[in-house]
Amino acid sequence: MSMIIGIPKESLPGEARVAMSPDVAMKLGGKGFRLCLESGAGLEAGYHDDDYVAAGVEIVDRATALGSDLVVKVRKPTGEEVASMREGALYIGFLETCDEDDEILQAMFGKRIRPLAMERIPRISRAQSMDALSSQSNIAGYRAAIEAAARYGRFFPLMMTSAGSVKPARVVILGAGVAGLQAIATAKRLGAEVYAYDIRPETREQIESLGAKPIELDLGEEGSGEGGYARELSDEAKARQQQLLADELARAHVIITTALIPCRPAPVLVTESVVKRMREGSVIVDLAAANGGNCPLTEADEVVRRHGVILVGHTNYPSMMAGDASTFYANNIANLLAIMVEKQGDELVLKDLDEDEITHAALVKPTA
């Protein structure tokens, strides 16, 4: 018997991604998995049922996809989805919660469903190919820079024409993690003059290697935390950071903010007084909009104009590039599956998920 992977259609309004792409499905089929996709699940990402059938996937109804041994999704499951899942099933997807008492998690535990949370894959080199937070943030960083360029009513590059010359746009990127570095690279390719800031000093070299100029501030505190993430600053250092950044930010024509500490509200880096000082028509793309924003004037899922500045608060850039985002995500899932199973004769057998540090970290268990 082969292990059956069910892929339901994403149910969150506006979510265009799907957890499996036809080419990755074909590879998994070759490894002995049987894949069942809910009819139409890939349509918004540009993948038709026929593409999946050609890759060896069975097209099924929603109940069958959700009732599989292993269900893979992008977004956190809904109560209805958990109710349709079978007792003791495995689940792989983003769980989008830091709260162990979360209702959906509890509903899963109530059915002995074992969830592997994609956001808990550790940021270690062996897990890079499974790191869906990074694969999706990379897309978000690119798309954020494109969005900024499209909303900004002027040029990003230096333009010298017979009708006049314009200086390049001054773009500041706050947070030089995965999304931030990709935003820097994209804004540079578009010809902007790019500056970037992060509290982790080790990012300086990466910022420079992309051709941007690092902004350095003396906060009197070290910002590096565990696992490649930042540490939360003291209130004193936060205030100092806002103050020291203010002049740099007020001069910017475009700000792209990506500052994050997992499971914490987004740090405020762009204050209202800075927005007031920015030039009319400047743009702030706030990637942290879903977590409160790096600018308090950002509104999640809205584009608003405040004090003459355009604030962009989209919370799902990967979904705007759903075809590639789904393929990256499906590859992350396939690479995770590769360490979860082993072949015994003709059969795929699930390994002990606590034995490998990656699956151990991703597996969410009820608290005792």
Q: Which sequence positions are flagged as catalytic?
A: 123, 128, 131, 134, 229
Q: Are strands 164-166 and 159-161 parallel, antiparallel or unpaired?
A: antiparallel
Q: Please tell me the count of residues contacting ligand NAD according to CB under 6 A.
A: 34
155 contributes a contact to ligand NAD by CB under 6 A: no
Residue 347 CB, nearest distance to ligand NAD (Å)? 37
Cα distance between residue 259 and residue 128, in whole Å: 21
Nearer to ligand NAD, 25 or 259 (CB): 259
Cα distance between residue 108 and residue 351, in whole Å: 21
User: Is residue 293 a contact partner of residue 315, using CB atoms and an 8 Å limit?
Assistant: no
**Which tokens sit at 252?**
């910017």
Q: Which of 47, 317, 328, 329 binds ligand NAD (CB under 6 A)?
A: 317
Cα distance between residue 200 and residue 283, in whole Å: 25
230 contributes a contact to ligand NAD by CB under 6 A: yes
5 contributes a contact to ligand NAD by CB under 6 A: no
**Which amino acid is residue 129, in one-letter code?**
S
214 contributes a contact to ligand NAD by CB under 6 A: no
Nearer to ligand NAD, 18 or 259 (CB): 259
Q: Which of residues 233-272 bind ligand NAD (CB under 6 A)?
A: 233, 258-261, 267, 269
Nearer to ligand NAD, 86 or 151 (CB): 151
**Which tokens sit at 147?**
């969005």
Q: Which of residues 172-211 bind ligand NAD (CB under 6 A)?
A: 174-180, 197-200, 203
Cα distance between residue 71 and residue 108, in whole Å: 12
**Of 76-84, 161-169, 170-178, 303-311, which segment contacts ligand NAD by CB under 6 A?**
170-178
Binding mask 79-118 for ligand NAD (x = CB under 6 A): ----------------------------------------
Q: Which of 287, 309, 325, 364 binds ligand NAD (CB under 6 A)?
A: 287
Q: Which of 136, 298, 326, 331 binds ligand NAD (CB under 6 A)?
A: 136
Cα distance between residue 338 and residue 360, in whole Å: 15
Query: Could you give the 3-state DSSP secondary structure of residue 343?
Result: strand
User: Is residue 225 a contact partner of residue 198, using CB atoms and an 8 Å limit?
Assistant: no
Nearer to ligand NAD, 300 or 350 (CB): 300
Q: Which residue is nearest to ligand NAD (CB)?
A: 177
Region at 88 (left for phi over 0; alpha for psi -120 to 50; beta for the rest) = left
Cα dihedral 266/272/277/281 (nearest 10): 70
314 contributes a contact to ligand NAD by CB under 6 A: yes
**Which amino acid is residue 55, in one-letter code?**
A
- Residue 250's Cβ-count burial label (10 Å; 0-12, 13-18, 19+) is middle
What DSSP string describes 20-69?
--HHHHHHHHHTT-EEEEETTTTGGGT--HHHHHHTTPEEE-HHHHHTSS
Q: Which of 41, 133, 145, 194 binds ligand NAD (CB under 6 A)?
A: 133
Nearer to ligand NAD, 16 or 133 (CB): 133
Site residues, ligand NAD (CB under 6 A): 133, 136-137, 140, 174-180, 197-200, 203, 229-230, 233, 258-261, 267, 269, 287-289, 291, 314-318
